[in-house]
Amino acid sequence: MAAKDASAESRKGQTGRRSAGKTTRGDGARSREEILAVATDEFAERGLAGARVDDIAERTRTSKRMIYYHFGSKEGLYKAVLERVYSQIRSVETQLDINNIPPIEAMRRIVELTFDYDESHPQFIRLVNVENVNRGQFVGKLVSIRKRYSNIIQLMQTVLDKGIANGQFRADVNAIDVRLVIGALCFFRVSNRYTFGALFDIDLADPQIRTRHRQMIVDAVLRFLRA
Amino acid sequence: MAAKDASAESRKGQTGRRSAGKTTRGDGARSREEILAVATDEFAERGLAGARVDDIAERTRTSKRMIYYHFGSKEGLYKAVLERVYSQIRSVETQLDINNIPPIEAMRRIVELTFDYDESHPQFIRLVNVENVNRGQFVGKLVSIRKRYSNIIQLMQTVLDKGIANGQFRADVNAIDVRLVIGALCFFRVSNRYTFGALFDIDLADPQIRTRHRQMIVDAVLRFLRA
Amino acid sequence: MAAKDASAESRKGQTGRRSAGKTTRGDGARSREEILAVATDEFAERGLAGARVDDIAERTRTSKRMIYYHFGSKEGLYKAVLERVYSQIRSVETQLDINNIPPIEAMRRIVELTFDYDESHPQFIRLVNVENVNRGQFVGKLVSIRKRYSNIIQLMQTVLDKGIANGQFRADVNAIDVRLVIGALCFFRVSNRYTFGALFDIDLADPQIRTRHRQMIVDAVLRFLRA
Amino acid sequence: MAAKDASAESRKGQTGRRSAGKTTRGDGARSREEILAVATDEFAERGLAGARVDDIAERTRTSKRMIYYHFGSKEGLYKAVLERVYSQIRSVETQLDINNIPPIEAMRRIVELTFDYDESHPQFIRLVNVENVNRGQFVGKLVSIRKRYSNIIQLMQTVLDKGIANGQFRADVNAIDVRLVIGALCFFRVSNRYTFGALFDIDLADPQIRTRHRQMIVDAVLRFLRA
DNA sequence: CATGAATGAGGATTCATTCAT
DNA sequence: AATGAATGAATCCTCATTCAT
């Protein structure tokens, strides 16, 4: 009578491609990935409650049944989507060789990379929104993610420390605070695009405005940090 | 809390048409308001798709029929909730006599009022999130709201202008940009409380952190504006 | 996400008939009862797992939806069926005025009534079987039933005591034991009709055999009790 | 419902021809037996409709495919389980040399053996219940079983005849009747353990009660047979 | 205005069974 | 002999909405 938890959930996408080919039978990893891509879109578009398993299945070359085979439940699928989307973030630290850049410049790059990522991944932003409306029920459990984020903070702290050391940055802020400020400014433009846009009659997606805001946010962060 | 009497109240000639009626009558406005209060909570908690008309009705002293009588549909109820919640914002301008305050101080107060409002109305923040996930389908139609927000911008511009005039604020930012920066910094702390908290292992609801961040955000905005 | 327990379950069949009429709208008690009758048959025929909610609905003038409205779940319906079928037993004590009958005769009547009830209610027998296969998950919770059964035992004990007192019955058996013996002999003929019949090549439903066994069982019980 | 398999079933040359093989090979007979053991438990526990092929496979070292390979269908597996469980009964006649025992004593032993078997094989009892709820759809087809049961009856008749001949047993009962009485009294205690226990507030599995009932049932049968 | 009953169209989940390898 | 992946057809259950009274 009880719903047994899907043992399938633990399976990872390990199978590995078979030969080349037409996606005939028996490529679990591929169909898993296809389902995830579609589901990411649906959950981002309609939320956890609003997304329809049928619709996800329909947009896939696999069937609804396979969703349950691979992910156990709608919730399980949502978790997998969340995990995937968080782990796909091309993290700042991999794109930035801070050792060779002075701290102000490094910070500018961090802000720009964050800004650009958020602007070019509105779907990710929406999913984060969805998860926050759900009170972060699932994000807390994504252990794999935590580590990555602690790396981000370490990088930030390194840059901060260098700036403090050379007298360019103030000493009374910590990496998480800085991350909060940067995150807020970049995230909000995308996440609140619709309400802010409607209420203040402005199109935040407009390229010109975007460019201006990009500079403005870099500027705001640097002013915030200036010693 | 029980207002089942009300037979007296209805005798004011405004609501019911039929005079006979043995059924105790609650007046319409009251039940409307009660439904809205409950619905606000449900929509904030579960989103548009996730909220249940049955649950809303159950938490009300009225019946499901009344929801449809007053609001026509679930969507109609959601719109009414959105409208109500936006119109309940005790707007900054009503709480601030900027004429008697120097611009820096005025700006500080604006930030603080915004911060305090967001912190004390997480339900509102959640609803804004929900609406953004829905791509602002409904917020655009709330004409009554637009005016109020244009007032906010006017106030902001007035403060800005005074600061620019006396040389304290830089001249190259406009009111909407400032509003964006303030909004982002205050809103994000509440809206992304769960994901940010989980990923960076910090409790943004903690009173000490909140106090510190309040000052930090005021500081960040003033630094941003400084000439 | 969780299945909320049907608040409907508590509702009893109280509504009371409206006027006369064609079972148009709005007779909860009637449709409840109709559902129960059909469900009793389905559960008896196929067990809890084997019964199909769709099939039950189809054999009813109401819809599948109403089953959930009234009973909350398949399991809730099963429980209601179990309760109904146990409470419908025309209990022995209401059909027997033991005060005016000598104990041997009373016991004979008890056995005959039990035998006749079981023989004429194979559906009930099947449901009891089903419940036993389910390890009596639900029967234990039917408090309303317990009382009735303790009455049966009291009646049995009274008869026993009278027989012991007048020296016709042995003194070393108690009412529950007697009930077990009677129950076993009457129940088994019906419950195991198919397997016993197949293995020993006998049709226990045959009226002649039934009549003979009825006498035989009365005889066996009286011999068992004889002082 | 159709048994389309069977081509597999006929291949009884079972053990496995290839000796090399890297995959650890269970030989066919072994995995067949393992599947049957697990399936017996599942069908006894949940009935034909309630048992899950997946669950059975999961509790086995073989795969679901093997179930279909060996048994063709869920129903085929159920039939095999039924056949196995009936054929495993250590039949009374093999344990009793009636030639050297006086009839009363022989009958006592028959009852005791029956009682003990039923008490120690509740799973078997449950399966019989399941089969009776299914109206004995399959038991009738187990030809192999019929013979064994006719042996039981023959043995019973022999004992009866001896008792009748020496004047200890009454002459007006036949072997099947006696078997019914014995079967009912022994079977019911186990099969109706849950409902009887709940309704009469008694734990029929309690060892003390069991011991007492064992004697009681022997006594009841002998009284029933007494000339 | 109010209420219990009702409903059609979904919506999530599960099942026995089969196939390519 | 064995396995992971796949499937179509159910199967249980829920939702927003309406109706008779």
List, for residues D65-83, the tens digit of each pLDDT value. Answer: 899 999 999 999 999 999 9
Of C residues 8-37, those with CB within 7 angstroms of nucleic strand F are 18, 24-26
Query: Which of B91-100, B191-200, D66-75 is predicted least confidently?
Result: B91-100
List, for residues D158-173, the tens digit of each pLDDT value. Answer: 999 999 999 999 999 9
Question: What would the two tokens of residue D192 be?
Answer: 């109706």
Give the mean model confidence (pLDDT) for residues D48-64.
91
**CATH number of the domain enclosing D97:** 1.10.357.10
Q: Which nucleotide is nearest to A24 (CA to C1')?
A: E20
Mean pLDDT across chain C, nearest whole number? 87
pLDDT of residue A151: 86
Over 50: is that where the pLDDT of D182 sits? yes
Question: What would the two tokens of residue D54 be?
Answer: 């997946």
Please name the member of A126, A129, A183 whose beta carbon is closest to the beta carbon of B196.
A183
Mean pLDDT across chain B, nearest whole number? 87
- Whole-angstrom CA distances from B4 to A140, B85, C197 are 45, 27, 66
Range of the domain at A207: 80-225
How would residue C26 be classed by pLDDT, with cut points 50, 70 and 90?
A: low
pLDDT of residue D97: 80
Over 90: is that where the pLDDT of D30 sits? no
From CA D173, how far away is CA D180, in angstroms rounded?
A: 11
Q: CA A78 → C1' E18, Å? A: 29
Query: Which of A6-15, A181-190, C65-74, C116-125 is predicted least confidently?
Result: A6-15
Residue with tokens 């009170």: A135
- CB atoms near residue B105 (< 10 Å): 12
Does residue B14 lie within any of the structural domains? Answer: no
How would residue B95 be classed by pLDDT, with cut points 50, 70 and 90?
A: confident
CA distance C26 to chain D (A): 35
Does residue D219 lie within any of the structural domains? Answer: yes
Query: Is there a contact between D83 and D169 (Cβ–Cβ < 8 Å)?
Result: no
pLDDT of residue A219: 98
Over 80: is that where the pLDDT of C184 sits? yes
Over 70: is that where the pLDDT of C71 sits? yes
How would residue D27 be classed by pLDDT, with cut points 50, 70 and 90?
A: low
A107, A115, A87: which is closest to A13 by C-alpha?
Answer: A87
pLDDT of residue A148: 81
Count how many Cα atoms sit within 13 Å of the Cα of residue A213 in the half-sphere of its side chain: 28
Q: CA C23 → C1' F21, Å? A: 14
Query: Which of A90-94, A205-209, B36-40, C73-77 is predicted least confidently?
Result: A90-94
Does residue D38 lie within any of the structural domains? Answer: no
Residue nearest to nucleotide F4 (CA to C1'): A26
List, for residues B45-62, the tens digit of each pLDDT value. Answer: 999 999 999 999 999 888
Q: Check if A128 contacts B (Cβ < 8 Å).
A: yes
Query: Is there a contact between D57 and D67 (Cβ–Cβ < 8 Å)?
Result: yes
Of B residues 93-152, those with CB within 7 angstroms of nucleic strand E are none
pLDDT of residue C100: 87
User: Does the beta-carbon distance from C131 to D179 stay under 8 Å?
Assistant: no
Over 70: is that where the pLDDT of C178 sits? yes
Percent of chain D with pLDDT over 70: 86
Query: Is there a contact between B87 and B145 (Cβ–Cβ < 8 Å)?
Result: yes
List, for residues D11-26, the tens digit of each pLDDT value. Answer: 333 333 333 333 444 5
Query: Which of A178-192, B138-152, D52-66 is predicted least confidently?
Result: B138-152
Does residue C5 lie within any of the structural domains? Answer: no
Q: CA A179 → C1' E19, Å? A: 52
Of A residues 15-74, those with CB within 7 angstroms of nucleic strand F are 15, 25-31, 62-66, 69-70
- Whole-angstrom CA distances from C137 to A4, C48, C183, D44, D191 are 19, 11, 21, 15, 14
Does residue A11 lie within any of the structural domains? Answer: no
Name every chain D residue with its beta carbon within 8 A of the beta carbon of C222.
none
Residues 6+ apart with CB under 8 A from A195: B128, B131, B132, B136, B139
Percent of chain A with pLDDT over 90: 72
Mean pLDDT across chain D, nearest whole number? 86
Please name the member of A48, A200, A220 whose beta carbon is closest to the beta carbon of B153.
A200
Strands (E), chain A: none
What is the pTM (predicted TM-score) of this model? 0.85
Query: Which of B69-73, B117-121, C91-95, D133-137 is predicted least confidently?
Result: C91-95
Q: What share of chain C is helix, strand, coil (3-state, %, to 5)?
A: 70, 0, 30
Over 80: is that where the pLDDT of C69 sits? yes
List, for residues A105-115, the tens digit of each pLDDT value. Answer: 999 999 999 99
Going by the DSSP 8-state scheme, the letter that residue A3 receives in this structure is: P
Q: Check if B220 contacts A (Cβ < 8 Å).
A: yes
Does residue C217 lie within any of the structural domains? Answer: yes
- Whole-angstrom CA distances from D160 to B87, C195, C220, D169 are 95, 23, 16, 7
pLDDT of residue B1: 37
Does residue C103 lie within any of the structural domains? Answer: yes
Of A residues 35-64, those with CB within 7 angstroms of nucleic strand E are 51-54, 64
pLDDT of residue A93: 67
CA distance C18 to chain D (A): 36
pLDDT of residue B63: 86
From CA B20, how far away is CA D218, in angstroms rounded?
A: 77
From CA D29, how far away is CA D11, in angstroms rounded?
A: 11
Does residue A126 lie within any of the structural domains? Answer: yes
Name every chain D residue with its beta carbon within 8 A of the beta carbon of C133.
46-47, 126, 129-130, 133
Listed by number, the residues of chain D in 47-66 with a beta carbon closer than 8 Å to a beta carbon of chain C are 47-50
List, for residues C47-59, the tens digit of each pLDDT value. Answer: 999 999 999 999 9
User: Does the beta-carbon distance from A140 to B198 stay under 8 Å?
Assistant: yes
Please name the member of C149, C195, C220 whose beta carbon is closest to the beta carbon of D200.
C149
Q: What are D226's strand-pairing partners? A: D169
Q: How far is CA C172 from the centre of its chain?
A: 29
Using alpha carbons only, what angle is made at residue B200 by residues B198 and B202, rounded to the nearest 5 degrees?
A: 75
Give the mean model confidence (pLDDT) for residues A135-154.
86
Give the mean model confidence (pLDDT) for residues A122-132.
97
Give the mean model confidence (pLDDT) for residues B69-92.
90
Q: Check if C68 contacts D (Cβ < 8 Å).
A: no
Q: Which nucleotide is nearest to B27 (CA to C1')?
A: E1
Q: CA A200 → C1' E19, Å? A: 59
Query: Which of A146-160, B188-202, C116-130, C178-192 is predicted least confidently?
Result: A146-160
**AA letter at D38:** V
Question: What would the two tokens of residue B202 be?
Answer: 């910090």
How would residue C99 be classed by pLDDT, with cut points 50, 70 and 90?
A: confident
pLDDT of residue C16: 33
Percent of chain B with pLDDT over 70: 86
Q: At what angle do helices C193-200 and D175-191 cross, to 10 degrees?
A: 150
Residue nearest to nucleotide E9 (CA to C1'): C65
Q: CA C200 → C1' F4, Å? A: 47
Q: Could you give the number of structural domains in chain D?
A: 1
Give the mean model confidence (pLDDT) for residues B151-179.
95
Question: What would the two tokens of residue D195 be?
Answer: 């409902």
Going by the DSSP 8-state scheme, the letter that residue C134 receives in this structure is: T
Residue with tokens 């597999």: D8
Over 80: is that where the pLDDT of D96 sits? no
pLDDT of residue C93: 67
CA-based max dimension of chain D: 70
Over 90: is that where the pLDDT of B28 sits? no
φ and ψ at residue C89, rounded to 5 degrees: -55, 120
pLDDT of residue C36: 95
Query: Is there a contact between D212 and D169 (Cβ–Cβ < 8 Å)?
Result: no
pLDDT of residue B21: 37
φ and ψ at residue B203, rounded to 5 degrees: -100, 100
Burial-class residue D183 by CB neighbours within 10 Å (0-12, 13-18, 19+).
buried
Query: Is there a contact between D136 and C198 (Cβ–Cβ < 8 Å)?
Result: yes
Give the mean model confidence (pLDDT) for residues A91-110.
86
User: Does the beta-carbon distance from B128 to A219 stay under 8 Å?
Assistant: no
